[in-house]
């Protein structure tokens, strides 16, 4: 099957495709664990010490390959995003700032993980990220097309 056809099969019904991802045993198990435990996290140290939770959250924001860089992420989380000179805001990759904004311990302290962005918002991002990764296992072009579909509405400048 060519790239365009594969992409069209997924893109015509994204919610159905995400439901199929959610039904995968590993995804379901990891998501159930995440939702059951993220609300119990009160500090940045608790967050990064629970490797399973932290890795899930990092993957949701497209940062799964950086889950090992805990000290880097602790620095970003401690500084928050309210200051334009904060570590996360200075990074050229804005995924870090999005992650820190979702888990804003600097602003909300022990209640940071109780907000929707840290709970269901992260799960939704994880599902979409996993959908794209799964599509990329058989056809990288489909993964890139799904990524573009997700990111294109936020593009404000071609440069």
User: What is the pLDDT tens value at each position of the chain, 159 positions in all?
Assistant: 788 999 998 999 999 999 999 999 999 999 999 999 999 999 999 999 999 999 999 999 999 999 999 999 999 999 999 999 999 999 999 999 999 999 999 999 999 999 999 999 999 999 999 999 999 999 999 999 999 999 888 888 887
Q: Which token pair is 83?
A: 């200051």
144 contact partners, CB below 8 Å, separation of at least 6 = 136
User: Which of these, 64, 101, 119, lies nearest to 52 by C-alpha position?
Assistant: 64
Q: What is the dihedral of CA 73, 157, 5, 62, to 10 degrees?
A: 0
What is the distance between the alpha carbons of residues 40 and 146, in angstroms, rounded to a whole number?
33
pLDDT of residue 157: 83
Residue-level length of the chain: 159
What is the distance between the alpha carbons of residues 93 and 86, in angstroms, rounded to a whole number?
13
pLDDT of residue 111: 95
**Residue 138 exposed, middle or buried by CB count within 10 Å (0-12, 13-18, 19+):** exposed
Q: pTM for the full model?
A: 0.91
Q: Which token pair is 39?
A: 């609300």
Count the alpha carbons within 13 Å of 123 in the hemisphere toward its beta carbon. Answer: 20
54 contact partners, CB below 8 Å, separation of at least 6 = 47, 48, 67, 70, 73
CB 10 within 8 A of CB 146: yes
What is the distance between the alpha carbons of residues 134 and 26, in angstroms, rounded to a whole number?
13
Which residue segments constitute the domains of the chain, with CATH numbers given? Answer: 13-131 (1.10.3700.10)
């Amino acid at each position: 099957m060519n790239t365009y056809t594969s992409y069209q099969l997924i893109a015509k019904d994204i919610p159905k495709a995400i439901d199929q991802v959610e039904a995968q045993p590993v995804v379901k198990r990891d998501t159930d664990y995440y939702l059951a435990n993220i609300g119990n996290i009160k500090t940045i140290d608790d967050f990064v010490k629970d490797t399973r939770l932290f890795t899930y959250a990092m993957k949701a924001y497209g940062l799964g390959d950086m889950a090992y860089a805990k000290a880097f992420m602790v620095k970003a989380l401690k500084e928050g995003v309210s200051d334009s000179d904060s570590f996360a805001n200075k990074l050229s990759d804005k995924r870090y700032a999005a992650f820190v904004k979702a888990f804003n311990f600097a602003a909300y302290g022990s209640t940071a993980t109780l907000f929707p962005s840290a709970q269901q918002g992260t799960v939704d991002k994880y599902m979409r990220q996993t959908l794209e990764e799964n599509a990329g296992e058989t056809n990288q072009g489909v993964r890139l097309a799904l990524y573009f579909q997700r990111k294109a509405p936020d593009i404000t400048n071609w440069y």
